[in-house]
Amino acid sequence: MTRPTLSHVDAGGRARMVDVGAKRATARRAVAEGAIAMDAVAFRLVKANRVAKGDVLRVAELAGIGGAKRTADLIPLCHPLRLDHVAVTATLDSKLPGVRVRAEARLTGRTGVEMEALTACAVALLVVYDMVKAADRGMVIGPIRLLEKSGGRSGTWRAEPPKRAPRARGASRKPKARATKR
């Protein structure tokens, strides 16, 4: 059985940027998702488009696209990429309550776009937090995860469905009160 290795670490254990010069350019795609849970009051404000800073969902989508384009500036070992396409969708989810974000990045190139999709998702969620924090500073971001990637030498990969859905803030069971000795 072959042991997995870290592509961004050299034989001496030092961080390095992967040399992709000899790789063949292929069509590559990645999709990521994430969520931000907020209280019911904040959710109603976003849903009614009554947040003072503007249209939360549309601004988050635009910021996510911008984030994907700037990934190499934020993640030190990422290659600057000429993205062919980035799409970010922010939608309300009353079950959280909150916002779910899905981001897709595509290109034809020598390296994958997983980090671009993940960055787009993270930036969009951070923008939601920034725009709604006046109503709820206790919002919770996450999980953010890669759903799928395709292209390149490793081919297609898809995430397993979550074993259990994450609980919205406040929905977890409260710990039992402990008796304390005085």
**What pLDDT digit, counting tens, does each position of 95-115 carry?**
999 999 999 999 999 999 999
| Number of C-beta neighbours around residue 135 at 10 A | 18
Integer-rounded Cα radius of gyration of the chain: 20
Active site (annotated) includes residue 130: yes
Q: Helix H segments across the chain?
A: 40-47, 56-69, 71-74, 114-132
**Domains and their CATH numbers in the chain:** 26-151 (3.30.70.640)
Catalytic residue among 55, 93, 130, 136: 130
Question: How would you label 34-59 residue by residue, b for 16+ Cβ within 10 Å and e otherwise?
Answer: bbbbbbeebbebbeeeebeeeebbeb
Task: Give residue 1's pLDDT.
Answer: 57
Task: Identify the segments of the chain with pLDDT beneath 70.
Answer: 1-6, 164-182
- What does the mean pLDDT of the chain come to? 88
